[in-house]
Structure 1
Amino acid sequence: MFAHNLKSYQHYFESDYNRGRPSLPRMVSEGIILKGDGIIDSIKCEAKELFSKGPEKWSTEIINTKRYLITDILDDFIGCNNRAEEIFIANTLAEVVSEFVLRTNNKWIGSSK
């Protein structure tokens, strides 16, 4: 259970938008209202609109930083001669490349549940 008031949820909506992980907007938009007086319907609409809009766009600076990171990890992978390290580096590379592709295409990212 997550408990918010009519202002606190907005902070989390904004935070999720900025970091590209729509945790609360998705829960609110897909959640079932157990009890309410109608105000929740407008918050659900707000969550659906935010979710449909997609995450905050990355700046050119962030894109360039992420490209550098990908190149750096790729160099580590190419220069590695330890199988165990290669597995962990490949995993990291897959994670940062997938984040890059999703975020530069205005798509949400996620992890965990």
Structure 2
Amino acid sequence: MSIDGFDIARSLVCERFPGARAAWLGGSTVLGMATPTSDLDISVLFDGRPAPYSESLRYQGWPVELFVHTEEAMRHFLAKDRKDRRPATLRLIGRSLVLLDNDGSGESLREGCATQLAAGPDPLTAQELQSARYGITDRLDDLVGCADDDERLLIATDLWQATADLLLTGHGHWTGTGKWLHRELAAFDHHAGTEYAKALAHGVRSVAQGNPEPIVETVTQALTIFGGRFFDGFTAQGPA
């Protein structure tokens, strides 16, 4: 990232949060994935008030997303990351530049989050895997049977997300939403020598052009890895 971005982020922290214990700059600008509209993702740690809260603002011409935590709030979000297998806060801290570290927590928390990121999420349970297979099978049937172009495109988009999510979590990798889902799958492809990210994106584009066959083929291949289509016999426990 540019030196200006780091200096601006540190200047904001020093100006607005003089009592902070630690602060980090993460996100696309640090990871080398920034676009012209990318913002500065800044996380800040306090002992108490005004934390916890989040805020969006502009500072010296830069769009900024602020995530202001207490230790309790940070533990909550890190636990949610692990439960959902979507490392939003883990990534913001674990792959960050330390802006401020008044008591050693900046570097220790960054290292702890980086270790958890590298370890990956918990493996899918048998029930989670069955649910994923069932959901994708159901969407696949909906896509094949759909005659409405608009509905078919929306089903294909949902199918892209569900299939990418299964490919990642089923292989013990973190997943994501939106652009981060695509980025995580592309990173998985890079290490595994596969091309699922491109194939699924191509499949959605093909559905938009009236041809569902490419995404049907890619999704079917992905399902085969985990036992294939699954519909008959699927059960799910209701609430107690």
TM-score (norm 2): 0.45
Counterpart pick for 2:91 among 8, 26, 34: 26
Counterparts in 2 of 1:85 and 1:41: CA distance versus 1, 3 Å: same
Counterpart pick for 1:75 among 141, 151, 166: 141
Q: Which has the higher helix share?
A: 1
Distance between the aligned counterparts of 1:88 and 1:46, measured in 2? 39
Structure 2 equivalent of residue 89 of structure 1: 155
Structure 1 equivalent of residue 79 of structure 2: 14
Q: Which amino acid aligns with 2:104?
A: G
Structure 2 equivalent of residue 35 of structure 1: 100
Cα distance, 1:77 vs structure 2? 0.8
Tell me the alpha carbon deviations over residues 9-29 of structure 1, each in whole angstroms, 9 at most, x when there is no partner: 122111101101101111112
User: What secondary structure sits across from 1:65 in the alignment?
Assistant: helix
Structure 1 equivalent of residue 111 of structure 2: 45
Does the Cα contact within 8 Å between 1:28 and 1:47 map onto a contact in 2? yes
Cα distance, 1:58 vs structure 2? 1.4
Structure 2 equivalent of residue 109 of structure 1: 175
Distance between the aligned counterparts of 1:88 and 1:53, measured in 2? 34
Structure 1 equivalent of residue 13 of structure 2: none
Matched, 1:5 2:70: yes
User: What secondary structure sits across from 1:3 in the alignment?
Assistant: strand
Q: CA RMSD in A?
A: 1.4
Q: Which has the higher strand share?
A: 2
User: What secondary structure sits across from 1:106 in the alignment?
Assistant: coil
Cα distance, 1:2 vs structure 2? 1.5
Percent of pairs with identical residues: 27
Cα distance, 1:42 vs structure 2? 1.1
Tell me the alpha carbon deviations over residues 15-70 of structure 1, each in whole angstroms, 9 at most, x when there is no partner: 10110110111111222222222122111111001111112221100110110111
Does the Cα contact within 8 Å between 2:100 and 2:106 map onto a contact in 1? no
Q: After TM superposition, which residue ranges in structure 1, 4 or more long, deviate above 3 angstroms?
A: none
Cα distance, 1:86 vs structure 2? 1.2
Distance between the aligned counterparts of 2:144 and 2:178, measured in 1? 29
Gap regions ≥5 residues in structure 2: 1-65, 180-240
Gap regions ≥5 residues in structure 1: none
TM-score (norm 1): 0.90
User: What secondary structure sits across from 2:67 in the alignment?
Assistant: coil
Range 74-83 or range 4-13, more displaced: 4-13
- Count of aligned pairs: 113
